[in-house]
Amino acid sequence: MIATQESGTRRLYARTASAADRGAWSVERDIAWYAVDRRRAFERPEILASLRDAALIESYHPVNLARLLKATWDDVDASVVFSLELYEGFKHFHALRWYLDVIRYDPPITDAELIELRRGQENVEVGEEDLIERLVDFMLSEHLAHYFFRRLGEQATEPVLADLLSKISADEVRHAQSASDLIAKRIEADRSVVPRVLEAASHFHHFGEQAIGTVPVAQPGDPIAIQTFAHRIERLCGVRLVDHIKSGL
C-alpha cells in the first residue's frame, strides 16, 4: 500500500484539488457559444477532424480511469487525481462535441459510436505488475495532450475555438503533473521502480490508441513537446531517458 502524507507537507490530494479549483471553468458560462463563427471554423477542416478524434479519446476516459481507480483503491491521492480527471475529461469531451454540433460538423458524434469504442474493454484490468507502466502512459498521454490542444489552438482561426482549446490545454498541464506526482510518490517509497518508469517511457503508448488507433497530432515532431517529455522523465528518475535508451537496459 502507498500511504498518503499524513503530516508535514500538504497532502498530494489537497494540492491536486486546490489546483483544480484554481483552474476551473464552465462549459456553459465561460465559452462564448453565441459567437461561434461557422464559416471561419471550416477554413481549417483538418483541425475539425482532429477535434473529432480528440473528443472520442476524451470520451474514453471512463474506461481507462476506471481501471486505474480499481488498481489504486488503497491510495487516497490517486483516487482524487483520477476522480478529478474523470470529471474534467468528460468536460473536455462535452465541450468539443458541443462545438462540433454548433458548427454542424459531419459526421456528428453519436452515442452509439461512443459505446462501440468501449466494446470488448469491460474485462481488461490493470494489475500491480503493470501499474507503473500504465501510470507512465497516463502521465505522458496527458503531457502530449497539453501540446496537442495548445498547438491546435494556435492554428485555429475561429476565436471561440482558440479560447476553448487554451482552456483545455491548461487543464492537461495539471493532469500530467498530478500523474507525475503519483509516480514520484511511488519512486520515493521504492527506488527499484525507476527502471520500470524509464522502460515504460521508452516504449510509451498513448491511451487514446485503445479508443481510435492512431492518435491525432497538431505538430508532427514537435521539438518542445519531445524535449519536455524527456525532461519530465529525468526529473522523476534522476536519469536521462536518452541515456537509458542508449544503455539498452
pLDDT digits (tens, 9 = 90+) for 103-155: 999 999 999 999 999 998 888 889 888 999 999 999 999 999 999 999 999 99
Rounded to whole angstroms, what are the CA distances from 32 to 20, 27, 102, 173, 187?
22, 9, 11, 23, 43
Report if residue 38 sits inside a domain: yes
Report if residue 124 sits inside a domain: yes
Q: What is the pTM of this model?
A: 0.92
Helices (H), the chain: 12-22, 38-41, 45-59, 61-71, 76-102, 111-118, 131-155, 159-189, 194-202, 209-212, 223-237, 241-247
Q: What pLDDT, on the 0 to 100 scale, is given for residue 249?
A: 57
Map grid coordinates 474493454 to a residue. 121
C-alpha cell at 33: 457559444
Report if residue 1 sits inside a domain: no
Contact between 77 and 13 (Cβ < 8 Å): yes
216: helix, strand or coil? coil
Report if residue 2 sits inside a domain: no
C-alpha cell at 94: 462535452
The number of domains in the chain is 1
Report if residue 118 sits inside a domain: yes
**How buried is residue 123: exposed, middle or buried, by Cβ count under 10 Å (0-12/13-18/19+)?**
exposed
Residue 80 CB: number of other CB atoms within 10 A? 20
pLDDT in tens, the chain (249 residues): 454 444 446 899 999 999 999 999 999 999 999 999 999 999 999 999 999 999 999 999 999 999 999 999 999 999 999 999 999 999 999 999 999 999 999 999 999 999 999 998 888 889 888 999 999 999 999 999 999 999 999 999 999 999 999 999 999 999 999 999 999 999 999 999 999 999 999 999 999 999 999 999 999 999 999 999 999 999 999 999 988 888 865
First to last CA, the chain: 28
Report if residue 7 sits inside a domain: no
Contact between 82 and 76 (Cβ < 8 Å): no
Domain assignment of residue 228, given as a range: 12-247
Report if residue 121 sits inside a domain: yes
Q: What pLDDT, on the 0 to 100 scale, is given for residue 2?
A: 54
Question: The domain that contains 236 carries what CATH number?
Answer: 1.10.620.20
Report if residue 212 sits inside a domain: yes
